């Protein structure tokens, strides 16, 4: 076992191309999933790579470095379209987890209940990946997440950034999380909504994403289309809007319960975004 | 420059000092801080970021040291509680506030709590309650109910006062300073770095046969492994248990494991070897067998029998009957029935079981967290087959117990490994091991029928409950016996029948957990009382008052108390809140559609001490020639405060200030047996022994000086002065002979509660005293989600006499938090919830304000009138919440936890007509 902590991306990518290692940033998912007696060939610590952390503007997009922590996001000065992401940041585990856990770690862990994913989906996030052999590529987040604990990350690749294309200035957003206790809780279900309204109070554009109700968090396109042209007081969310969802039963709740509550949860997120 | 640093030195600042480490790749910061840099104030509760007890500041920000790569701190600053407490004024001030509020009980979460709070207070010196919750939401506490912690961080007015510590004084915990400064040594904090460690091989199946491979070859061919232990290595009996007739649990299973997580072997080796050991490398062949994992299938003829002689897997039963319930039902104007269920509840103390053992000459010394050091000694005596004078059990500070640390866990493995290797050894259960292998609260399946006449008097009561006791008996027989005695609740019930059975399954052993089955039974009884009161059209509080026990009324066991029955006073104390809160809730609900509020009440009682069995405590005290007063305080303090309460009682009896008394803790070599910390008995039973010991010591002084019995004593170096009307006299201690322990004066006294056996119908004197409780809760239900949020508790407790009112409040808060967890979120599912993120306990954001009303209906047997309290608290909590849910949304929940899914399903079932088939 070795520990590597490169300062530059090129070195990191060279290391990533070697045998099977573990990429570690905050460690908040690496350690809990570690098995007694099972060891990787190396740990590749990405937290000291120059340029990999922090939020910047690039070509009109907002670029979140892979190692940007949830605390950095929660306290960043961002447009209102990012409120859902900031609210989600404050629901990732606890302050301790938010201070260490990173945005890329959250998506690479690919938990169906990752709190960061629905707001990123609702912001049309893209994932920037790099490898020594093939250079950079960019995937839609929805294409990066393939299933429970499964992503499109190649064995020799690193996520370098999450890129958010510009949202309308009028876009507003909100995040709703349902869990069995107040803090440190894995979501039963959660919803992020990004809504843009016209001066007449009618919805022009809507993105709604639901987590923990399918192997990968899903955008609700039927609901999004339905919302266009609606005013807050007209909005009713029903089961027919939820077709991509396929919630399972687990220790947190039954699948039927998740389907039952998520429509109301969507409505609350939308109304809060509109408020 | 890139660092490729497998063996490179890492430099960083630890608590202001330049430090260097050479961590192995992947080493956790927590491990390096504790084992290489001596920072044992960083506690390990879960190794998964679920409990926050390892919180340290990294460049000023709180992080979990257990999730941080040690390498990542290179060039950075790490601060821990012990370091902060030495140099940081904010921390020192916060420590004083923790002491003034009693915000540290067992103290295991305290470093994580305080470090998190420091990060907050540096940014925000006057935080709001919401700020405090957000900042401390990542640290779990199982003792305090969090409210005192919130008060301490916000700087509320102190609850403690700086007085002599007589009975009734709300003094600080006498052992508090070590806890708030990071100095307290818990069970995993004793062993020197580099000590040999133990890894236990456990069954991955609920039931499986196994064959061990060649263990000698395994040891011989593995570097770093010193020994392997299995059943073959046990010199004495390979069995332990807590009840003499039910000693049935092997230290190591011999051919068949009866539950998932059962120990079958142990490896002793170097720390690095143990840390990297893969269980797959151990030579063992498993054959999974069909398991009975619920009480229904376990009782079928086809089910395998877990223990010979326990037919149909029925371990034992309990029974209490009086009068004629069937006739009473026929005379009742209303009868109601209910079927209630509850699941396993995990104790979830933040300190997993741990310990250290070493050979001291021929003697094996075991240092471990425990609630019952002398029972541990007796168990080891049988397992090791050596004389008890060759075993010494020294309890460490205990990071929470709540019943599960009454049974042995790490102790036999430690002792066997120390004996076999001759070397010091340590063992620290992982969170998963702790959850898999130690006892739980019994799941229950209860049927209850109650009748009443139209004037609101109970007329007939019939309870039948089955309890899943898991693979081994543990305290299951106690649950089976206690429940029928208590299932009536604190009410006058003349026609009564209560029967229980404990059923073996291939589940983890269920044992003692705060209340021994009574909290489960109280859910059935107190919820069904509300159903009955509604059916009769009687207010639930009035109905309870109408039936409350009073002095000179027999209990269901035929026991008649002429004094000290405080339930009526507890219920009356809730009346103002009952009226005010219901009125507020009515107003709220008129304006709110989706969110509905409700008010619920419930009551409870609990007998202190063993049920109709001898239950003595012995307390020794003495005065050294130099005048030092020494109290051998053998009552295990597991956070509840025995160190403080027993000392206050002793100090009052002797007539000396608490501050002048030096404590020697439980240690089987030097401190007599004060019994186990269980059954809410320490304040009552050990408290009485402490009173007798203090009185006897005082009597010796008075006699030698020939002064009046009310003389005031003062203790100075080498001399005791007694002052009465005739003046002041001096006892010069140097003039007295001292005994082998150096005592010039000494007193050792024993107290055993007066009880009498129960007959075949459970009639007799089960306990010398009962304590009483009544809770009121206001909840808010989100009808769309089924989430239930308690927003206020009012808790009235008859404690006889509050020895320390601040500690009474602490027990009330902590018990309510556990009752809230049991009511709303906690259910242990073997194989599924073996960690603290799938098994949920309340966080700081889940426990609302609690108003504690202390009722003091003095008890004739209690020391200065005091009664026990610890277990009483959570008995009314869960049913009060269920009753409040009904009040809010009109649905009755018959199964706990009342998860959002269960509550929502009940709401839907009520509001939607049943679809035709």
Q: What number is the ipTM of this complex?
A: 0.97
The Cα of A115 is separated from the nearest Cα of chain B by a number of Å equal to 15
Query: Closest by alpha carbon to B452, among B513, B530, B389?
Result: B530
Chain B, nearest residue to A99 by Cα: B63
The pLDDT of residue A39 is: 87
CB B362 within 8 A of CB B390: yes
Distance CA B295, CA B311 (A): 13
Cα A145 → chain centroid: 10
Q: Which residues of B touch A1 (CB under 8 A)?
A: 6, 24-26
The pLDDT of residue B917 is: 47
Question: If you average pLDDT over residues B481-505, what whole number do you get?
Answer: 98
The pLDDT of residue B455 is: 97
Instruction: Identify from A72, A102, A183 which residue to disrupt to test chain B contact, counting B C-beta atoms within 10 A and taking the largest count.
Output: A183
pLDDT in tens, A114-130: 999 999 999 999 999 99
pTM score of the predicted model: 0.97
pLDDT beyond 70 at B6: no
Q: How confident is the model at residue A20 (pLDDT cuts 50, 70, 90)?
A: confident
pLDDT beyond 80 at B843: yes
Q: How confident is the model at residue B1 (pLDDT cuts 50, 70, 90)?
A: very low
The pLDDT of residue B912 is: 77
The Cα of A195 is separated from the nearest Cα of chain B by a number of Å equal to 23
Cα A185 → chain centroid: 16
Q: Cβ–Cβ of A261/B900 closer than 8 Å? A: yes
Instruction: Count the neighbouring beta carbons within 10 Å of the beta carbon of residue B77.
Output: 14
The pLDDT of residue B3 is: 43
pLDDT in tens, A255-275: 999 999 999 999 999 999 998
Q: How confident is the model at residue B208 (pLDDT cuts 50, 70, 90)?
A: very high
Nearest to A37 among B2, B278, B835 (CB): B278
pLDDT beyond 50 at B4: no
Q: Which residues of B touch A45 (CB under 8 A)?
A: 69, 71-72
Q: Cβ–Cβ of B58/A99 closer than 8 Å? A: yes
CB B459 within 8 A of CB B453: yes
H or E element, residue A207: strand A203-211
Q: How confident is the model at residue A254 (pLDDT cuts 50, 70, 90)?
A: very high
Question: If you average pLDDT over residues B568-581, what whole number do you get?
Answer: 98
pLDDT beyond 60 at B7: no
The pLDDT of residue B915 is: 54
Question: If you average pLDDT over residues B524-535, what whole number do you get?
Answer: 98
The Cα of B65 is separated from the nearest Cα of chain A by a number of Å equal to 9
Which residues touch B914 (CB under 8 Å, ≥6 apart)? none
The pLDDT of residue B913 is: 65
Q: In sequence order, which ranges of chain A are alpha helices (DSSP H)? A: 9-16, 70-74, 83-89, 95-100, 103-109, 117-122, 141-144, 221-227, 255-274
- Interface residue A18 vs chain B (CB under 8 A): no
**Is B32 in a helix, a strand, or coil?**
helix
**pLDDT above 70 covers what percent of chain B?**
99
Query: Closest by alpha carbon to B368, among B144, B663, B667?
Result: B667
pLDDT in tens, A67-112: 999 999 999 999 999 999 999 999 999 999 999 999 999 999 999 9
CB B512 within 8 A of CB B475: yes
Query: Closest by alpha carbon to A148, among A68, A219, A212?
Result: A212
Q: How confident is the model at residue B74 (pLDDT cuts 50, 70, 90)?
A: very high
Cα B499 → chain centroid: 27
pLDDT in tens, B303-334: 999 999 999 999 999 999 999 999 999 999 99
B397 upstream amide cis, omega within 30 of 0:
no
pLDDT in tens, B686-712: 999 999 999 999 999 999 999 999 999
Q: Cβ–Cβ of A261/B838 closer than 8 Å? A: no
Instruction: Identify from A1, A25, A181, A191 which residue to disrupt to test chain B contact, counting B C-beta atoms within 10 A and taking the largest count.
Output: A181
Q: Which residues of A touch B116 (CB under 8 A)?
A: 95-96
Question: If you average pLDDT over residues B337-348, what whole number do you get?
Answer: 98
Chain B, nearest residue to A46 by Cα: B72
Query: Closest by alpha carbon to A121, among A58, A207, A197, A60?
Result: A207
Q: Cβ–Cβ of A180/B2 closer than 8 Å? A: no
Q: Which residues of B touch A182 (CB under 8 A)?
A: 133, 137, 843-846
Chain A, nearest residue to B52 by Cα: A96
The pLDDT of residue B646 is: 98
Distance CA B886, CA B577 (A): 18
Find residues 59-118 of chain A whose CB sits inside 8 Å of chain B: 71, 90, 93-97, 99-100
CB B81 within 8 A of CB B41: yes
Q: Which residues of A touch B139 (CB under 8 A)?
A: 94
Strand partners, A162: A64, A127
Q: Cβ–Cβ of B825/A180 closer than 8 Å? A: yes
Q: How many beta-carbon pairs below 8 A join chains A and B?
A: 175
Chain A, nearest residue to B431 by Cα: A32
The pLDDT of residue B13 is: 98
Instruction: Count the neighbouring beta carbons within 10 Å of the beta carbon of residue A19.
Output: 9
Q: Cβ–Cβ of B49/A94 closer than 8 Å? A: yes
């Amino acid at each position: 076992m070795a520990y590597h902590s490169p300062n530059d991306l090129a070195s990191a990518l060279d290391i990533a191309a070697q045998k099977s290692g573990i990429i570690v940033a905050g460690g908040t998912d690496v350690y809990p999933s570690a098995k007694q007696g099972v060891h990787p060939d190396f740990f590749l610590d990405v937290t000291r790579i120059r340029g990999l952390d922090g939020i910047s503007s690039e070509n009109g997009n907002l670029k979140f470095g892979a190692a940007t922590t949830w605390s950095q996001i929660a306290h960043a000065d961002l447009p209102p379209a990012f409120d859902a992401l900031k609210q989600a940041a404050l629901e990732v585990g606890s302050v301790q987890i938010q201070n260490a856990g990173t945005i890329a770690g959250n998506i690479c862990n690919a938990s169906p209940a990752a709190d960061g994913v629905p707001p990123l989906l609702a912001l049309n996030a893209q994932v920037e990946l790099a490898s020594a052999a093939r250079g950079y590529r960019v995937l839609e987040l929805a294409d990066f997440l393939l299933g429970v604990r499964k992503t499109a990350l190649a064995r020799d690749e690193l996520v370098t950034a999450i890129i958010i294309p510009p949202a309308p200035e009028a876009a507003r957003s909100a995040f709703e999380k349902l869990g069995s206790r107040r803090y440190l809780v894995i979501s039963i279900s959660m919803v992020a909504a990004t809504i843009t309204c016209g001066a007449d109070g009618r919805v022009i554009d809507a993105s709604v994403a639901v987590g923990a109700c399918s192997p990968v968090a899903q955008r609700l396109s039927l609901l999004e289309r339905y919302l266009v042209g609606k005013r807050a007081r007209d909005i009713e969310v029903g089961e027919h809007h939820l077709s991509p969802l396929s919630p399972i039963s687990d220790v947190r709740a039954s699948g039927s319960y998740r389907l039952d509550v998520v429509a109301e949860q969507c409505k609350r997120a939308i109304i809060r975004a509109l408020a | 420059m890139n660092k490729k640093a497998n063996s490179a030195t890492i430099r960083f600042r630890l608590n202001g000092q330049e430090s260097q480490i050479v961590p192995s790749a992947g080493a956790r910061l927590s491990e390096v801080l504790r084992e290489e840099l001596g920072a044992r104030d960083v506690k390990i509760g879960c190794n998964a970021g679920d409990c926050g007890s390892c919180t340290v500041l990294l460049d000023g920000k709180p992080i979990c040291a257990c999730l941080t790569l040690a390498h990542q701190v290179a060039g950075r600053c790490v601060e821990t509680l012990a370091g902060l407490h030495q140099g940081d004024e904010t921390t020192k001030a916060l420590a004083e506030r923790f002491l003034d509020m009693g915000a540290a009980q067992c103290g295991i979460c305290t470093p994580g709590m305080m470090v998190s709070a420091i990060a907050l207070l540096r940014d925000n010196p006057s935080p709001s309650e919401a700020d405090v919750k957000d900042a401390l939401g990542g640290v779990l506490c199982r003792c305090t109910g969090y409210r005192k912690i919130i008060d301490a961080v916000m700087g509320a007015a102190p609850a403690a006062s700086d007085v002599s510590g007589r009975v009734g004084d709300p003094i600080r915990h006498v052992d508090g300073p070590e806890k708030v400064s990071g100095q307290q040594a818990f069970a995993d904090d004793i062993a020197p770095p580099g000590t040999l460690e133990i890894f236990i091989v456990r069954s991955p199946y609920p039931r499986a046969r196994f064959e061990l491979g060649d263990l000698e070859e395994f040891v011989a061919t593995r570097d770093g492994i010193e020994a392997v232990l299995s059943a073959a290595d046990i010199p004495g009996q390979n069995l332990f248990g807590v009840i003499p007739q039910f000693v049935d649990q092997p230290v190591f299973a011999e051919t068949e494991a009866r539950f998932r997580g059962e120990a079958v072997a142990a490896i002793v080796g170097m720390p690095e070897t143990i840390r990297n050991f893969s269980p797959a490398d151990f030579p063992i062949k498993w054959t999974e067998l069909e398991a009975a994992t619920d009480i229904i299938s376990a009782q079928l003829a086809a089910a395998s029998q877990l223990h010979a002689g326990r037919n149909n897997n029925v371990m034992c039963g309990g029974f209490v009957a009086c009068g004629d319930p069937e006739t009473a039902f026929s005379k009742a104007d209303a009868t109601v029935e209910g079927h209630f269920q509850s699941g396993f509840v995990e104790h979830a103390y933040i300190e997993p079981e741990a310990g250290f053992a070493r050979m001291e000459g021929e003697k094996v010394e075991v240092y471990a967290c425990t609630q019952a050091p002398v029972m541990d000694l007796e168990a080891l005596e049988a397992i090791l087959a050596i004389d008890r004078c060759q075993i010494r059990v020294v309890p460490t500070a205990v990071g929470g117990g709540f019943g599960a640390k009454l049974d042995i866990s790490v102790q036999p493995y430690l002792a066997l490994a120390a004996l076999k290797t001759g070397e010091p050894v340590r063992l620290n259960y992982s969170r998963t091991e702790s959850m898999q292998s130690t006892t739980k609260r019994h799941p229950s399946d209860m049927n209850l029928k109650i009748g009443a006449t139209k004037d609101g008097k109970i007329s007939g009561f019939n309870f039948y409950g089955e309890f899943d006791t898991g693979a081994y008996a543990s305290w299951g027989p106690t649950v089976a016996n206690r429940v029928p005695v208590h299932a009536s609740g604190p009410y006058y019930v003349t026609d009564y029948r209560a029967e229980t059975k404990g059923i073996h399954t291939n589940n983890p052993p269920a044992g003692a957990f705060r209340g021994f089955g009574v909290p489960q039974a109280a859910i059935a009884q107190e919820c069904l009382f509300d159903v009955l009161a509604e059916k009769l059209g009687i207010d639930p509080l009035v109905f309870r008052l109408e039936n409350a026990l009073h002095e000179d009324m027999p209990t269901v066991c035929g026991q008649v108390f002429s004094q000290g029955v405080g339930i009526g006073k507890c219920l009356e104390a809730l009346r103002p809140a009952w009226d005010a809160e219901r009125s507020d809730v009515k107003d709220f609900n008129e304006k709110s559609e989706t969110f509905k509020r409700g008010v619920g009440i419930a009551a409870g009682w609990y007998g202190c001490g063993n049920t109709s069995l001898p239950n003595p405590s012995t307390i020794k005290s003495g005065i050294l020639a130099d005048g030092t007063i020494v109290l051998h305080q053998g009552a295990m303090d597991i956070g509840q405060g025995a160190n403080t309460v027993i000392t206050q009682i002793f100090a009052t009896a002797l007539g000396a200030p608490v501050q002048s008394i030096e404590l020697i803790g439980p240690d089987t070599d030097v401190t007599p047996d004060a019994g186990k910390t269980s059954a809410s008995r320490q304040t009552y039973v050990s408290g009485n022994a402490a009173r007798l010991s203090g009185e006897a010591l005082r009597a010796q002084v008075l006699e030698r000086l020939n002064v009046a019995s009310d003389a005031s004593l003062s203790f100075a170096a080498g001399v005791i002065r007694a002052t009465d009307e005739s003046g002041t006299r001096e006892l010069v201690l140097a003039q007295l002979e001292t005994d082998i322990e150096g005592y010039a004066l000494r007193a050792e006294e024993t107290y055993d509660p007066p009880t009498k056996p129960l007959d075949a119908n459970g009639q007799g004197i089960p306990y010398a005293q009962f304590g009483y409780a009544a809770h009121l809760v206001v909840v808010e239900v989100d009808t769309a989600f089924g989430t239930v949020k308690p927003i206020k508790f009012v808790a009235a407790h008859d404690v006889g006499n509050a020895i320390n009112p601040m500690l009474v409040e602490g027990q009330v808060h902590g018990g309510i938090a556990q009752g809230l967890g049991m009511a709303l979120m906690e259910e242990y599912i073997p194989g599924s919830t073996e960690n603290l993120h799938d098994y949920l306990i309340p966080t700081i954001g889940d426990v609302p304000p609690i108003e504690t009303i202390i009722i003091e209906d003095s008890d004739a047997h209690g020391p200065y009138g005091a009664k026990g309290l610890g277990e009483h608290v959570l008995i009314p909590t869960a049913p009060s919440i269920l009753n409040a849910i009904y009040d809010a949304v009109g649905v009755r929940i018959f199964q706990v936890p009342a998860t959002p899914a269960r509550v929502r399903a009940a709401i839907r079932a009520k509001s939607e007509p049943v679809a035709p088939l």
